[in-house]
Amino acid sequence: MKAYGGCGYGIFEASQDLVGYEYLCVMQFMDPDLFADIFKKIGDLWETLWQGVIEKYSDIFVFFRMGDDLGHKTSTLLDPDIIRQLILPQYKKVIDLVHRSGKKFLLHSCGNIFPLMDDIINLGIDAKHSNEDQIAPFPVWIEKYFDRIGLFGGFDLNLLVLEKPETVYQTVIEQGTLFRRSANGYGLGSGNSIPEYIPVDGYMAMIEATIEIRRRESVSFHPKSM
């Protein structure tokens, strides 16, 4: 069994924890030099932290993941140009470390970050999660990016919460075939992290349907095994 993960929060979320989101927004106008320095310093610290984790624990990870929620339902949480200038260069440090270790890099970022997706992909990410239906239905994510990165997620949390297990199962079976378009791999799962209020039966229906899709793919790839 292998793990996936990394060093917790990303550059932007760490800056919010440090000074608070509201004050961070004020700081970019009241003290722009300090505002820029915060991201640079966090990026330097993250580079050191990630280097240590990769050197000590790389063998137990199948890939590395960083989570950094850059947006909400309608837009990014900072101006896209600010994110491009001050935050994405710090991502690049971590991504390059991961790739030099021979591992893949997955970015988890909630929110409407479509204005930044080309920039983020150009940094060299290998895959993306989350892909929330409230931002765009999953087929939109596939249509835009299936030939450039792997896509993880696909099934909205409302499906798992509100629908009967048999409906969840059938929906995953029917829609799961869309993932096969991804030229860079995919991961079937929820569109965002699983909170404690998700019904166990609904969650397990998604898992069982995913196992069935994998079984069918294996049989179709190895017909003589039947």
Q: What is the pLDDT of residue 222?
A: 43
pLDDT by residue (tens digit) across 2-49? Answer: 888 888 789 999 999 999 999 999 999 999 999 999 999 999 999 999
Residues (pLDDT < 70) of the chain are 181-183, 219-226
Please give the model's pTM, rounded to 2 decimal places: 0.87
Question: What is the spatial distance between Cα 70 and Cα 83, in angstroms, rounded to a whole number?
Answer: 9
Q: Determine the topology of domain 1-125 in CATH.
A: TIM Barrel (3.20.20)
Q: Is there a contact between 84 and 119 (Cβ–Cβ < 8 Å)?
A: yes
Question: 128 in the Ramachandran plot: left (φ > 0), alpha (ψ -120 to 50) or beta?
Answer: beta
- Residue 226 pLDDT: 32
Class of residue 30 by CB neighbours under 10 A (exposed 0-12, middle 13-18, buried 19+): exposed
State the pLDDT at residue 182: 67
User: What is residue 61's predicted lDDT score, i.e. its pLDDT?
Assistant: 93
Give dist(CA 42, CA 59) in Å, integer.
26
Q: What is the pLDDT of residue 152?
A: 87
For the chain, residues classed under CATH 3.20.20.210 are: 1-125
Q: Can you give the pLDDT at residue 196?
A: 92
Instruction: Quote the CA–CA distance of 9 and 16 in Å, as a whole number.
Output: 10
Strand ordering across the sheet containing 3-5: 3-5, 61-67, 105-108, 127-129, 150-155, 186-190
> What is the model's pLDDT at position 83?
98
